[in-house]
Structure 1
Amino acid sequence: MTMDISGKTFDPRDNHGDLLIAQGKLTLDSEQNAAAEARDRRWRVQTMDMIGRAGYPAGLPESFRITLGGGGEVLIGVGRMYVDGLLAENHGLTAAQGGTVGFDAAHAELRSSTAVPFDQQPYLPGTAPPDPAAGDHLVYLDVWRREVNHLKDPSLVEPALGVDTAGRSQTVWQVRSLPVADGVTCATPDDEIADWAGLIAPSSIRLSSFLVPVSDPDNPCEIPPGQQLRTTENRTYRVETHGLAADGRALLKWSRVNASVATRVVSIDSATRITVAQVARDDVHRFVPGDWIELIDDRLEFAGQPGLMRMVATADPATNVLTFDGAIPAGTFPVDADGVPTPDLNLRIIRWDQGGVVRASGGAVLADLTDAAGPGVFPAPPPGEFVELEAGIAVGIGFAPGPQRVRVGDHWIFRARAATGTIDMLADAPPHGTHHHYARLAVLEGGAGGFAEPVEDCRDPIDPDEVCCCTFVIQPGEDIQQAIDGLPLAGGCICLKPGEHVLPRTLVLARSDVTLHGEARGVTLRAPPNEPALQLAGTLADPVSRIRIHTLAFVGEGAEGANNRLLGMDGVEDVTVSDCDFSALQVGIGTAIRISNANDVTVANCRISRALAGVVADENSGDIVVGDCVMALANARGQPALIGIGMADATGPITVRDCTIRGALAGVVVNDDPSAPPASLATNSRVTGCVIELADLPPGNAPPSLVFGIDMAPEYATVSGNAVTYGSAPRVGIRIAGAHSVASGNHCRYQSRPPGLSAVGIVLGATNPDGAAAARTDDVTVGGNTVEGPQSGIFGIAAAHCRIAGNRIDGGELGNTTLGIFLNGCDDMDVAGNTILGAAAAIGAVEGDRCRLRDNRIEGGGFGIVALRMEAPAITGNSLRDCGQGGVLIAATTERSLIDRNRVIRCGSAADQGLGIAAFLVLGEATITGNEVMDTGEGRNGSSSSATAIGILGDLILEALVQGNLVTYGGGQTRDAANEDRAMRLRGLLEASVNFGDRRLVLGFPVKILGNSFIGTGQTALVELLEQRLTDNLVIRFERVTFSDNYCLHFSPPPDDRRATVSLRGHRGVIVGNHIKSLAGQYFPVNLNGVTSTYLGNVAEAPPIQGATVPMPVANFNLDT
């Protein structure tokens, strides 16, 4: 370790254990470090004895698992891996990096669940991922230990004291790749893979240290005559390799203080000048002119590269500035504009003590280190010779038999003790460090189209439940069925040796308590033609139970799809199938795993390819778990499979988690019959964290069962955190039809052009095959999902008491969404807080009652919110911008229809008549209150403009309350005053009158227009009530009109007798407290059109026209502007 230690004393041959402390006894740092090394060795040895050289916990199947993300990105799974007893742990992406972080209760710590991209590794940042165009790659894990002090981790400085504390030992891991030839698999021996054996082999360099005679000193009182160690100081020497010379010899450097004279670089002031944290700690631990220093950062260290050697020209302790002659090449170390190095890379300098003219013992000059332009290091002496470091201390270099291998950073540490005149004598000692440890992770099959799936997994799980002394060990060609039949009644374990086991007939396992596993990767079970490889055969009354199957590769043979299963289970419980592969020898197989009459079955960390179906459970099965599986199901001709995971006729739940399914027409279906009304008894089923990329539908009409990415029919279901991608229609990303269910955090992406007019991201509820609504779907939450691409967003069909909240629906780069959120026949729905961008119709609701459409953000597209044939709809608090066809529209509604507190901005610009808020045929009260309607009919930045524009429009309205609205134009008036625009236009539904001789009874409904601000244009009116007389006794209009406390500002043309800012119609009117003004001047404020009205307290330019008013005269009770 490059720290100021007194020495390295640990030797495993001493069999020392922990440190025992006695009172009054001296305890050295070297003793404590040796005790720490002893404890570390004990745990490493025990780990290897128990689990072998490499493995991952079976309970963490994602640990360093290599997978392919979107776009073929190589990902490294979160978890732990043990390599030669060293624990490598991938903590995943942090929240700041976009990872999902949660609390791990078992370990009482925060833990990420997000895999790390290949180029974002913590100890190999920015490294280029393997290139599929270069062919196949072996992906492997490299683990080693390094020492860390305050220069590599500034947090080791105690803030209260301002000094650095003890160093640390850190486990470093890197995932790397090696291009390999076609045909290399996880089972290929090391020596059959080009460059692999040499890569993983340890360094073969060896070092010997000894003392050599030197002339006696002038003063024999300092050093006794004849003593070979010619120094009065106790020192800890470090000799380290710096790479290779051009002739292949190892380059060396050394330090008399274990390379502990080091400091952090504060700034690179120029190519030959740096400022450091500390030039001199004392008279010994300092930098002086003539010293050789190494500039190095974490980036070079992690890449296994040496630092940059430079000779110090000047060193100023007052300013902490160092200069040197040789320039630092531009770009060698990343710095900002002020020359400050990237903090996370920990740029530092280390003093090395070699110098002068270095000669081999044979007299040859190895290097002249007085030359500031030289390399600063020296080559190893020739075999059989040595080089004297100083004070009689010499080292010689040799190699172990076999190829000569040297790694940058190979080093040795030994002590020199003046009191005894001795040093630690090393004899052909292997390096004390750095020792790298390797484990294969995966083989990636490359090609022009990217890496193929599934990825061949080379990892071996560590599962305590699977540890057994095998009852039988079967070599390829031996009879596996005989071994199964020969197990004792208590069960047993059958271990299959690597190789291909060709099965003459289907293996039948009809007994409990059996483990069947491969010894390692590369065990293949080749099924008989058109038949299963293995059948677990029990009954409901007497199930086969406690079966464990793992680390096997099942291969099917025969006609495409002929065998309906490679692994079959019937009448089983408590079965686990893990770390297995299922594939076809030729084009494709039928079903990989079929489960019937089963309970408590787990399929984990398996890989399935070239199958019509991945995992299918049916006939009274429940408590099924499929987790961490990868399915690339298209056959060898690229034709799609039918389904990834399916469950029908269930008696219990299924859990599907963290699976990847590609190449199938349908992803996960939990539904007894997808062509019928949804039904399933798989209550509490879950589909979470899956990636599903559906294949394109074949030409013609696809059967209903193949439409869905995820289809969940049971009650209390959870569909969460999945990514579903598809590119053909008809398609439904997710359907959830069971009551009390949740669909949250999913991403449904349609990725093709033209728009998928019959593609829908999420469907809540269902219809019968004849199109009629199925049974109600009740109490479902669809929240926090993203629907992307040119498709419809979320449909609610025959649902009630459900929540559609916090979702994002965006057509994205490929085009606009068709329908954002659409409800058909739904009651008491809450559609809240959604974001909908670019939809032809953002929110639509048809034929339901008491639905709440609230607090949604809608931008772009066609219509904003449309409610048709609804009972008591409530449209509140929404924000609508740039909806080209119109803002809020309701029609054929009953009871109280509420349109409240919405912001409707720049809507209707693409229509001939631009509408902000519109209501048609309301058989109840239309309550339009507190809305802001701005720039109706105008596009963003004047991009488009409708011929006419109406802020609030109502027609055939039984009764209306219009209160507290703001209808205006922002940024100045942009509409032509000659347009027949209106801030508001209303017409009632019916007024009827009956004559009783001298008395006339008038029946009708009121309109109350209260406290609004109307600002805008209109050639003949700004605010207008209309009527249409049908007969002498029937009129389409409001009977009673209240127009009070409104503010009207009319951008009008010049006045004439036919025009008024406010034009009212009705039987009787109350016009009180209004401010009415026209910018044209002398424009009539109100046209009563024969309505007898109370006209009081108004501020207007002139009296009303065409109607009788009370009180009179008008001027006495109203004000002129």
Structure 2
Amino acid sequence: MQGDFSRTTFDPRKHYSAVLAQQGRVQLDADFNEQGALLLHQLRTMVADVLGPAVAPAAGGGFAIGTVDGRKPQEDLTISAGRMYVDGILVENDLEATYWTQPDLRPRIGHSADELPQDEPFVLYLRVWERLITAVQDPAVREVALGIPGPDTAARVKTVWQVAAVAVTARTTEEALREFPARLAAFRPTGRMRARAKQPPAADDCRYHLPVDSRFRGPENQLYRIEVHTGGPAWSTGSTGCPTDTGTADTGTVAADTAATRRGATFKWSRENASVVFPVVSLSGATVRVSTLGRDGKLGLEVGDRVELVDDTIAGRVADDLVLTDPPRPAPRLRRVLAVDAVDLLVTLDEQDGDEGCGLGAHPFLRRWDHRPAPGTASAGTLAAVPADGALPLVEGGWLDLEDGVQVRFEPEGEARPGTYRRGDHWLVPARTAVGDVLWPQRADGPAPVEPAGVRYHYAPLAHVVGQTVDPSPRRTFPPLAG
């Protein structure tokens, strides 16, 4: 989540049960957040073990699917109010809704990603994930006693639910429930990432020699966020340099001379975990009026910065990229800052917004990203090619420079070639000046390949639709506990 955190430390594989504060010690945000994560992990695991992975209570249960009077199931469906538990997560629908009016996902009629399948059976399912909410999205989070406008304090985590459909070939519900997990498995990303700052000594037979300052050279501690912007297979790449199994640096370059290579997944990065945001007051063409330009220069905007124009609708559509297509479906374009008027709080972007639909009332804001791609041909170890979405080409097979000695390397899981990546998935890389390195899992041959930290989606089948027949039996229920 894109918060102003020092790092995230919860790891279920360590089997910790509590965080214990000690007297006279420094208190860290990571400790408090890990305690909350431990409690949630224990509670949700217990609920899932007792009730099952996806279940609604018989009394007060929600998310029952029904038909709309006078309309076909392929046109619209009702979603009942109530509760459901998905992988132990409490999911609540406060008011009865329909597919086209569900609160956390406002589908667009005529949009191919939203339309219900028309000519084939489909499974309607519940998709659940969590989203960070700050005072930008919910002003009530801010304590006005601290000033108007005062500083923000703690953030919140919101459980987001979305009812979506996936086409299946099965015409019986039993077969459809067997096919449904396989369909979701096809969405699973196979890409992994390594990170480092300190590098091993160069081998004698390597053409590239490491500088003596091959370490993290930043002036202060950072939490880097490397996030997939456009999902899909990795970009094609030419690779030169030393083989990775020697422990020495190799170089990934982007071939920008043919159209065939200018495609694939892209990524963006932030040294502040993408927590630098600027609430939008108004939007006129390519000119954005913001309510603040940041607390200081470090957390402000400069000409040449890359920003993402986001609102509640766009944030809720991260899961649209579940389908890993080739070529990938592009994400909303990152914009370049052309001018900043600090007096009138105006930011001029490089082109007018397209159909992303950022409007007042939907909590719009600009999110700053810190990569600075420059036009031209990629050189060894650099990220110079500029995809159409304004992000960086996600290239496998080479170490890629971010800044101040921090490098990342993307690679596929196992023998898969190339790896696939899902929009919104990310990795967090804490960089520390005390050790001149990043905090990253290690193994004998160097930094370990790590799967993305999220977004973590949870699924529950709700109904199977064949023609005009809606079978709600995939939605499981449990009776109230006796006594």
- Of 274, 290, 303, the residue aligned with 2:304 is 290
How far is the alpha carbon of 1:202 from its aligned partner? 3.2
What does residue 246 of structure 2 align with?
none
Counterpart of 1:123? 104
Secondary structure at 2:140's aligned position in 1? helix
Match of 1:444 among 429, 448, 465: 465
Q: What is the alpha-carbon distance in structure 1 between the residues aligned to residue 212 and residue 169 of structure 2?
A: 65
Cα shift readout 1:263-298 (whole Å, capped 9, x = no counterpart): 1111112x2211111113112110011111111222
Give the Cα separation in 2 of the matches to 1:301 and 1:419.
36
Q: Quote the Cα distance in structure 1 between the aligned partners of 2:200 and 2:378.
A: 13
Distance 1:360 1:143 in 2: 41
Alignment correspondent of 1:67: 66
Is 1:399 paired with 2:412?
Answer: yes
| 1:324 equivalent in alignment to 2:327 | no
Residue 226 of structure 2 aligns with which residue? 239
Task: Note if contact 1:144-1:171 (Cα within 8 Å) is conserved in structure 2.
Answer: yes
Inter-partner Cα distance in structure 1 for 2:18 and 2:428: 22
CA distance in structure 2 between the aligned counterparts of 1:407 and 1:290, rounded to whole angstroms: 27
Counting only pairs closer than 5 Å after superposition, residues 757-796 of structure 1 correspond to structure 2 as none
Q: Report how far residue 175 of structure 1 moved.
A: 0.6
Q: Whole-Å Cα distance in 1 between the matches of residues 50 and 214 of structure 2?
A: 50
C-alpha contact 1:10 1:34 (8 A) present in aligned 2? yes
Question: Structure 2 vs 1, CA of residues 209 and 153 (structure 1 numbering), >3 Å: closer, same or farther?
Answer: same
- After superposition, the C-alpha distances for 1:67-94 in whole angstroms (9 at most, x for unaligned) are 11322351111111111122211111xx
Contact 1:64 1:80 in 2 (8 A): yes
Q: State yes or no: 1:30 paired with 2:16.
A: no
Q: What is the CA–CA distance in structure 1 between the aligned matches of 2:191 and 2:65, rounded to whole Å?
A: 34
Q: Report the 3-state secondary structure (helix = DSSP H, G, I; strand = E; otherwise coil) of the residue aligned with 1:390.
A: coil
Alignment of 1:999-1078 (within 5 A): none
Give the distance between the partners of 2:294 and 2:143, measured in 1 at CA: 20
Deviation (angstroms), 1:41: 1.0
Local SS of the residue matching 2:43: helix
Question: Is the partner of 1:160 in helix, strand or coil?
Answer: helix
Residue 310 of structure 1 pairs with residue 324 of structure 2: no
Match of 1:606 in 2: none
User: How far apart, CA to CA, are the structure 2 residues paired with 1:202 and 1:408?
Assistant: 11
Q: How far did residue 171 of structure 1 move?
A: 0.8
Task: Give the whole-Å Cα distance in 2 for the aligned partners of 1:274 and 1:332.
Answer: 15
For residues 129 and 420 of structure 2, the distance between their equivalents in structure 1, rounded to whole angstroms, comes to 17
What is the distance in 2 between the residues matched to 1:226 and 1:132?
Answer: 57
Superposed, 1:705-716 pairs within 5 Å as none
**Structure-1 separation of matches of 2:452 and 2:117:** 37
More helix as a share of residues = 2
Partner Cα distance (1:242, 1:84) in 2 = 27
Q: Report the CA distance shift for 1:299/1:429 in structure 2 as closer, same or farther (over 3 A).
A: same
8 Å CA contact retained: 2:64, 2:472 = no
Aligned AA (1:208): R
User: Residues of 2 paired with 1:445 and 1:407: CA distance?
Assistant: 30
Does the CA-based 8 Å contact 1:66-1:457 persist in structure 2?
A: no
Contact 1:442 1:456 survives alignment (8 Å): yes
Displacement after TM superposition at 1:212 (Å): 4.9
* 1:83 aligned partner: 86
Alpha-carbon separation, structure 1, partners of 2:433 and 2:339: 32
Shift in Å, 1:359: 11
Matches within 5 A, 1:933-952: none
Aligned counterpart in structure 2 of residue 205 of structure 1, from 177, 184, 191: 191
The one-letter amino acid paired with 2:221 is N
Partner amino acid for 1:413? L
Summarize the Cα distance change of 1:323–1:358 in structure 2 as closer, same or farther, 3 Å threshold.
Answer: closer
The letter of the residue matching 2:195 is S
Which residue matches 2:52? 52
- Alignment partners' CA distance in 2, 1:374 and 1:445: 40
Higher strand share: 1
Confirm or deny: 8 A CA contact 1:130 1:137 kept in the other structure. no
The one-letter code matched in structure 2 to 1:142 is: R
Contact 1:237 1:255 in 2 (8 A): yes
Q: Write the distance in 2 (CA, Å) between the matches of 1:284 and 1:44.
A: 39
Q: Give distance in 1, aligned partners of 2:366 and 2:345.
A: 13
Q: Secondary structure at the match of 2:451?
A: coil
Separation in 2 of the partners of 1:194 and 1:425?
Answer: 32
Equivalent in the alignment of 2:390: 376
Query: AA paired with 1:118?
Result: Y
Aligned length: 415
Query: Where does residue 6 of structure 1 map in the other structure?
Result: 6
Offset of 1:387 from its aligned partner?
0.2
Q: What per-residue deviation string (whole Å, max 9, x for no partner) do you get for residues 285-331 of structure 1?
A: 100111111112221221226443111111122211111223323x4
CA distance in 2, matches of 1:380, 1:117: 38
For 2:188 and 2:401, how far apart are their aligned partners in 1?
27
User: In structure 2, which of residues 267, 285, 289 is the aligned counterpart of residue 252 of structure 1?
Assistant: 267
Pair 194,414 (structure 1): closer, same or farther in 2 beyond 3 Å: closer
Find the aligned partners of 2:2 and 2:52 in 1 and give their Cα distance: 31
CA separation of 1:90 and 1:387: change in aligned 2, threshold 3 A? same
Q: Which residue identity is paired with 2:81? A: V
For residues 449-848 of structure 1, the aligned pairs below 5 Å read 451-452=468-469, 455-463=471-479
Structure 1, residues 737-784: CA drift from partner, whole Å, max 9, x if none? Answer: xxxxxxxxxxxxxxxxxxxxxxxxxxxxxxxxxxxxxxxxxxxxxxxx
CA contact under 8 A between 2:59 and 2:480: conserved in structure 1? no
Shift of 1:332: 3.4
- 2:455 corresponds to: 434
Letter in 2 for 1:77: S
* 1:576 alignment partner in structure 2: none
Q: Displacement, 1:440?
A: 0.6
How far did residue 256 of structure 1 move? 0.6
Bigger Rg, which one? 1
Match of 1:349 in 2: 366
Q: TM-score, normalised by structure 1?
A: 0.35
**2: CA distance, partners of 1:133 / 1:241:** 31
RMSD: 2.9
Q: Distance in 1 between matches of 2:88 and 2:378?
A: 42
2:18 aligned partner: 18
1:175–1:375 Cα change, 3 Å: closer
What whole-Å deviation, never above 9, does each CA across 1:1067-1113 have from its counterpart, x for those lacking one?
A: xxxxxxxxxxxxxxxxxxxxxxxxxxxxxxxxxxxxxxxxxxxxxxx
CA deviation string 1:838-875 (max 9, x = no partner): xxxxxxxxxxxxxxxxxxxxxxxxxxxxxxxxxxxxxx
* Cα separation, partners in 2 of 1:212 and 1:35, compared to 1, 3 Å: same
SS of structure 2 residue aligned to 1:71: coil
Q: Give the secondary structure class of the aligned counterpart of 1:44.
A: helix
Contact 1:278 1:320 in 2 (8 A): yes
Separation in structure 1 between the aligned mates of residue 421 and residue 396 of structure 2, nearest angstrom: 15
Ranges in structure 2 where 5+ consecutive residues have no aligned partner: 202-210, 236-259, 321-330, 442-447
Q: Residue 136 of structure 1: CA displacement?
A: 2.5
**Deviation, structure 1 residue 444:** 1.6
What amino acid sits opposite 1:332 in the alignment? E
- 1:699-750 CA-to-partner distances (Å, cap 9, x unmatched) read xxxxxxxxxxxxxxxxxxxxxxxxxxxxxxxxxxxxxxxxxxxxxxxxxxxx
Question: Structure 1 residue aligned with 2:434, among 419, 442, 454?
Answer: 419
